[in-house]
Chains A and B, each alone.
Chain A
């Protein structure tokens, strides 16, 4: 049985937890404002807000693509569809859309309204850039986005201005006062608290069950298959650690249920890997990053997964847990072949552990894809280097899209270790790299082109990290 609040209504349902929230709200609840445009999380027409109760009694909201959000994920949570904004009053977000003619056919509009409401719920500063980030998963084929950007800008200006005067600590309360959210949102925290909600005990998970950690890949790949399975949701497991990002003993610990957006926004990440906040923007879109988990990305085992490539270069190891026993695997040893992994039935990724960088460490991530944003890479690569700014002391290079599994380029590392950071050495490293990889022709490019790209990405790392030593024209001429 799943209990949740949909808009202002408490709902209990025995519907299969593997169906999508989109299907549930449209077909079971007859809330037709949420649209199905692709069922792949690629268009944002199905965006809803998901509210979760936090320890201090407040409810934190995020925008999610409901087509890839399994119903089981919303147990004990609050779901807001466009109907939940209550049309008896024209909300500022809707007004901005209306004023700026930001809707033509209108099919994407409810999703845009919710993404923008999500922006007002989550943005610290109400900055325009945050508004654009919030909209990065909402495809519109009619407007060319010019009018949508204007609506976002108008909201950003209005709310920056309001914020200047006074702001309550509780954003939800504040947005109710500003009429962004209807009055009933005040009661949601209390109602969620009183809701009978039973987290799953981690030891309940075993080889006969399927663990959903986000589900954004699984719901695209085998939506029917999931309906027959006994599902356990990582977000519902009773381990707080699973949902946390922590710094301890020279290591960064990322829990197995941490979402990609949580990682991107984490202060610890900002402190140690400041470039990741932007790098992770290239991973899908806000409405997907809000649901997709880091661990889920790892076990999806895509040879081209951005997060996997980043983690590989950071010398990441995984803590796998089954019931009460744990074991460790280095990430580069985790992949055994195309979509084959060193993980047994009933095992879960409990933690992802990354050594913390010191002041001699540098990190960079590069990606080339057909379309810059929202796209799967043709090739991607990450590098972490320890250096005295003259020689390479330690280096780890990862590349994706050139083999059946995400790869570490140890040969390149071996060659560069101890060498001067110079054009000659880099060109030599580029040669070693291209000789060691064997990409295939596919829809993301020919083998020849991918080889070239991989080499260019290696050069790009050094140009970006050592701009005074390495010039593009010199290495790639």
Chain B
């Protein structure tokens, strides 16, 4: 795409919704709850693994105020996948609205809809269930051992496309690649390494929990107003699960109180829809915070075996990753998260000999889902820790080691072609790439030159500086599609309807800016509506760092089509050749500057005066590549060697996201991701009882960072121009969550000489690591 001088893009126009958000206007699902709505409460499995021998709902059903009870005996049993992704999904259809088996503490047993929440809660307690307890599978090792209990022993579950699926071995998915000659690569190395890394569960904890409202409209259709990142996928999955046509469902996404990936899943809408269908009443279903933790989606715990070979000169000769991902009781995002452990990570550095084997395994633990970073977060902990390990072994500065190895513009990588989502990937070469500048700028900002080795440090409090480089993708090429429709109004304003799902990121504002830039007008002329399956064109939804790059380009293309119509009409009005006209400042002018018609005049003409028609267009977009944003993160920490406490003193993110459509919003994405990453690296942890029950399902005991915990953060957007993106843009939303874990681990090593292989780095874990390595106190 030709570079143009930008007027609206690359400026921090105000986020279009921020005024009404600060005034607390009604805009979220719960704010629209009708007074007569029924409330849903679920009976969740208290057992990690059990068969339901019998269930008696009669007492609950007969209670005053109870309007319905759903359980496996009175709903269709249709295998499906709750994860919203391209269709057919590269995932097992292993989930049922209700089943005769429960597979984790927090699995569905039965649901009650009642006139009040209190009645629903009471009724749930009246459901009598007799369980046959089965041996639970509660760890990586449990799941993979010979003769492990089989979690998905039902016959009906299947994979809709041919991907590896071996439920009898508790393997939900498998993915891998081989490039070059890995074994030879190890032989060619001066140093070889073989290390294990492990990450744990985490929850997205959006401030607004999962919440949905299903109602029946006058045509008998189900209208689901829901807090989702994927309205169109939600519509399809609910239709499938209820066995009704897609056309009978309308999904409306109002404002969303955060998602971070957990709302890329259809977890509650089917039950609300089923109740509304059966009762002809509005039905409201909202998770408590406890339910968010126990039964909502999580970040997959992953165990990595990393093998590397490196030459003294810094050339990486071999990269081996054997990864096992605990997908929990259901496999919705098992394969894709594993695939991204490779595809969003390996291309960062040159290496020809690669071995990658990844399994997603079933356990009787909470279910992994999409979470900002999506596999890359876990894999970067292993990979970027190893980069420091290798640099030290060959006696090279970690920054220098990365500089000589990182991928450049114009280069390709075998992982792009090898790793897709349930099929081969898409070969691509790197376009825009400002990683070299990011590394330099970040090093300067943190003061890398003053970094000394751990042997020179002593005392209780020790400071260390660590760094890491990162990449992600922008959309899933050849799979994801976004579309927009734009129509012009007679005052020169435009309705911009996008399926792209603003979940709080500000993407509505970004779409307004992109459309305004293309249309040569201002962002405040854009009336953006997202998203509603009846009103807006299709979009896969907000995930895979796709909204700006993919949906943004759809929006730009639509705007370009509309602009063409505007020019055509202006040509008719001015009796001029269209080639003699250009659009500037919400007007069309002749190139000699003598004549001009404003957008308002053009629209008036088109709607009321002559050859009337609606200036409007719809356009779709798919991408052929997934250009990575790049980043270099530098972190300075202070470790209290007596308690194991790590304090982050300063966090520098230098990020290349191409053109930042809205720099302030892009910085907001970086800062939010960074703090979430720090909190994930240091304090966020799922604890389980021996029987697989999560024991800290509360914000009191699952610690996400507060304002007071926030360290000094410095965000530097380093511009580049991605030719394939709208006005040079790539993604920015996910990448920066990946840095804290490896960066802090590297800083901890720099401070103390102790490396941590298991996350999160809680005080006690760090203290123990310090003890075991017998660090000098």
Co-complex (A, B)? yes
Chain A residues within CB distance 8 Å of chain B: 32-40, 42-43, 45, 81-83, 85, 87, 90, 93-94, 97-99, 101, 103-110, 113, 132, 135-149, 224, 285, 368, 370-376, 378, 443, 445-446, 449, 452-453, 456, 459, 472-473, 476-477
On chain A, the residues within 8 Å of B700 by CB distance are: 40, 42, 376
Partner of A37, one of B208, B503, B672, B710: B208
Partner of A136, one of B19, B207, B671, B708: B708
Could you tell me the distance between the alpha carbons of A312 and B288 in the complex, rounded to whole angstroms? 36
On chain A, the residues within 8 Å of B701 by CB distance are: 376, 443
The reply on B495 being an interface residue by CB < 8 A is no
Could you tell me the distance between the alpha carbons of A49 and B696 in the complex, rounded to whole angstroms? 30
Interface band, chain B:
35 or more
Given contacts A144-B674, A147-B667, 5 further A-B contacts (CB under 8 A): A101-B664, A105-B257, A107-B257, A147-B664, A375-B703
Asked whether, in the complex, the Cβ of A473 is within 8 Å of the Cβ of B28, the reply is: no
Partner of B22, one of A97, A132, A140, A375: A97
**Which chain A residue lies CB-closest to B503?**
A105
B interface secondary structure, majority: loop
Asked whether, in the complex, the Cβ of A453 is within 8 Å of the Cβ of B643, the reply is: yes
Asked whether, in the complex, the Cβ of A473 is within 8 Å of the Cβ of B708, the reply is: no
The total number of A-B Cβ pairs within 8 Å is 220
**Which chain A residue lies CB-closest to B28?**
A107
Asked whether, in the complex, the Cβ of B709 is within 8 Å of the Cβ of A371, the reply is: yes
Asked whether, in the complex, the Cβ of B260 is within 8 Å of the Cβ of A141, the reply is: yes
**Which chain A residue lies CB-closest to B258?**
A105
On chain A, the residues within 8 Å of B609 by CB distance are: none
Of residues 741 through 777 on chain B, the ones whose CB sits less than 8 Å from some CB of chain A are: 762-764, 767-768, 777
Q: Determine how close the nearest CB of chain A comes to the CB of B118; give it in whole angstroms.
A: 8
Asked whether, in the complex, the Cβ of A143 is within 8 Å of the Cβ of B22, the reply is: no
Could you tell me the distance between the alpha carbons of A445 and B764 in the complex, rounded to whole angstroms? 7
On chain A, the residues within 8 Å of B642 by CB distance are: 456, 459, 472, 476
Asked whether, in the complex, the Cβ of A90 is within 8 Å of the Cβ of B19, the reply is: yes
The reply on B26 being an interface residue by CB < 8 A is yes
Asked whether, in the complex, the Cβ of A107 is within 8 Å of the Cβ of B31, the reply is: no
Known: A143-B672, A147-B671. A94 touches B23 (CB 8 A): yes
The reply on B676 being an interface residue by CB < 8 A is yes
Known: A139-B207, A443-B701, A449-B767. A374 touches B706 (CB 8 A): yes
Most A-side CB within 10 Å, residue of B21, B703, B767: B21
Asked whether, in the complex, the Cβ of B704 is within 8 Å of the Cβ of A443, the reply is: no
Asked whether, in the complex, the Cβ of B672 is within 8 Å of the Cβ of A374, the reply is: no
Known: A37-B289, A97-B18. A370 touches B683 (CB 8 A): yes
The reply on B645 being an interface residue by CB < 8 A is yes
Could you tell me the distance between the alpha carbons of A158 and B21 in the complex, rounded to whole angstroms? 22
On chain A, the residues within 8 Å of B696 by CB distance are: 443
Asked whether, in the complex, the Cβ of B668 is within 8 Å of the Cβ of A147, the reply is: yes
Asked whether, in the complex, the Cβ of A142 is within 8 Å of the Cβ of B289, the reply is: no
Partner of A81, one of B24, B506, B664: B24
Q: Determine how close the nearest CB of chain A comes to the CB of B718; give it in whole angstroms.
A: 18
Partner of A35, one of B207, B670, B673, B707: B207
On chain B, the residues within 8 Å of A378 by CB distance are: 763
The reply on B40 being an interface residue by CB < 8 A is no
The reply on B247 being an interface residue by CB < 8 A is no
On chain B, the residues within 8 Å of A107 by CB distance are: 28, 206-208, 257-258, 504
Q: Determine how close the nearest CB of chain A comes to the CB of B583; give it in whole angstroms.
A: 29
The segment out of B9-17, B232-240, B373-381, B527-535 that lies at the interface is: B9-17
Partner of B288, one of A39, A98, A103, A148: A39
The reply on B450 being an interface residue by CB < 8 A is no
Partner of B14, one of A98, A110, A143: A98
On chain A, the residues within 8 Å of B665 by CB distance are: 101
Chain B residues within CB distance 8 Å of chain A: 12, 14-15, 17-19, 21-28, 30-31, 118, 204-209, 255-260, 288-289, 459-460, 503-506, 642-643, 645, 647, 664-665, 667-668, 670-676, 683, 687, 695-696, 698-701, 703-710, 713, 715, 762-764, 767-768, 777
On chain B, the residues within 8 Å of A224 by CB distance are: 118
Asked whether, in the complex, the Cβ of B707 is within 8 Å of the Cβ of A101, the reply is: no
Partner of A149, one of B24, B209, B710, B715: B710
Asked whether, in the complex, the Cβ of B25 is within 8 Å of the Cβ of A33, the reply is: yes
The 8 closest A-B pairs by CB, nearest first: A33-B24, A105-B504, A106-B21, A107-B257, A144-B671, A82-B24, A144-B675, A42-B699
Asked whether, in the complex, the Cβ of A141 is within 8 Å of the Cβ of B30, the reply is: no
Could you tell me the distance between the alpha carbons of A58 and B502 in the complex, rounded to whole angstroms? 44
Asked whether, in the complex, the Cβ of A106 is within 8 Å of the Cβ of B643, the reply is: no
Known: A35-B257, A40-B698, A107-B207. A138 touches B707 (CB 8 A): yes
Could you tell me the distance between the alpha carbons of A446 and B763 in the complex, rounded to whole angstroms? 11
On chain B, the residues within 8 Å of A81 by CB distance are: 24
Asked whether, in the complex, the Cβ of B255 is within 8 Å of the Cβ of A105, the reply is: yes
On chain A, the residues within 8 Å of B14 by CB distance are: 98-99, 101
Q: Determine how close the nearest CB of chain B comes to the CB of A42; give it in whole angstroms.
A: 4
Could you tell me the distance between the alpha carbons of A476 and B207 in the complex, rounded to whole angstroms? 42
Could you tell me the distance between the alpha carbons of A217 and B594 in the complex, rounded to whole angstroms? 74
Known: A136-B706, A443-B687. A109 touches B22 (CB 8 A): yes
User: Can you report 16 A-B residue pairs in the complex whose CB atoms are below 8 A from each other?
Assistant: A32-B31, A38-B699, A39-B289, A42-B699, A101-B664, A105-B208, A105-B503, A106-B18, A106-B255, A110-B24, A139-B704, A143-B671, A147-B671, A370-B762, A443-B687, A476-B777
Q: Determine how close the nearest CB of chain B comes to the CB of A93; give it in whole angstroms.
A: 8
Partner of B643, one of A87, A94, A137, A456: A456
Asked whether, in the complex, the Cβ of A141 is within 8 Å of the Cβ of B258, the reply is: yes
Could you tell me the distance between the alpha carbons of A446 and B644 in the complex, rounded to whole angstroms? 14
Asked whether, in the complex, the Cβ of A104 is within 8 Å of the Cβ of B505, the reply is: yes
Could you tell me the distance between the alpha carbons of A443 and B764 in the complex, rounded to whole angstroms? 11
Asked whether, in the complex, the Cβ of B699 is within 8 Å of the Cβ of A443, the reply is: no
On chain B, the residues within 8 Å of A36 by CB distance are: 30
On chain A, the residues within 8 Å of B687 by CB distance are: 443
Could you tell me the distance between the alpha carbons of A375 and B713 in the complex, rounded to whole angstroms? 22
Asked whether, in the complex, the Cβ of A146 is within 8 Å of the Cβ of B713, the reply is: yes
Partner of A144, one of B643, B664, B672: B672
Q: Determine how close the nearest CB of chain A comes to the CB of B735; give it in whole angstroms.
A: 14
Asked whether, in the complex, the Cβ of B24 is within 8 Å of the Cβ of A104, the reply is: no
On chain A, the residues within 8 Å of B704 by CB distance are: 139, 141, 371
Asked whether, in the complex, the Cβ of A32 is within 8 Å of the Cβ of B30, the reply is: yes
**Which chain A residue lies CB-closest to B695?**
A443
Partner of A106, one of B504, B668, B705: B504
On chain B, the residues within 8 Å of A136 by CB distance are: 706-708
On chain B, the residues within 8 Å of A98 by CB distance are: 14, 18-19, 22
**Which chain B residue lies CB-closest to A96?**
B22
**Which chain B residue lies CB-closest to A152?**
B707
Q: Determine how close the nearest CB of chain B comes to the CB of A138; give it in whole angstroms.
A: 7
Q: Determine how close the nearest CB of chain B comes to the CB of A77; give it in whole angstroms.
A: 20
Could you tell me the distance between the alpha carbons of A136 and B687 in the complex, rounded to whole angstroms? 26
Asked whether, in the complex, the Cβ of B708 is within 8 Å of the Cβ of A368, the reply is: no
On chain A, the residues within 8 Å of B206 by CB distance are: 105, 107, 141
On chain B, the residues within 8 Å of A456 by CB distance are: 642-643
Q: Determine how close the nearest CB of chain B comes to the CB of A442; give it in whole angstroms.
A: 9
Asked whether, in the complex, the Cβ of A473 is within 8 Å of the Cβ of B777, the reply is: yes
Q: Determine how close the nearest CB of chain B comes to the CB of A380; give it in whole angstroms.
A: 13
Partner of A449, one of B26, B703, B764: B764
Could you tell me the distance between the alpha carbons of A375 and B706 in the complex, rounded to whole angstroms? 10
Asked whether, in the complex, the Cβ of B18 is within 8 Å of the Cβ of A37, the reply is: no
On chain B, the residues within 8 Å of A371 by CB distance are: 683, 703-706, 709
**Which chain A residue lies CB-closest to B762?**
A370
Known: A94-B23, A106-B17, A146-B713. A45 touches B777 (CB 8 A): no
Asked whether, in the complex, the Cβ of A40 is within 8 Å of the Cβ of B699, the reply is: yes
Most B-side CB within 10 Å, residue of A39, A109, A132, A141: A141
Q: Determine how close the nearest CB of chain B comes to the CB of A430; give it in whole angstroms.
A: 12
On chain B, the residues within 8 Å of A477 by CB distance are: 777
Asked whether, in the complex, the Cβ of A94 is within 8 Å of the Cβ of B672, the reply is: no
Partner of B710, one of A138, A145, A375: A145
Asked whether, in the complex, the Cβ of B24 is within 8 Å of the Cβ of A83, the reply is: yes
Most A-side CB within 10 Å, residue of B14, B671, B713, B715: B671
Q: Determine how close the nearest CB of chain A comes to the CB of B9; give it in whole angstroms.
A: 17
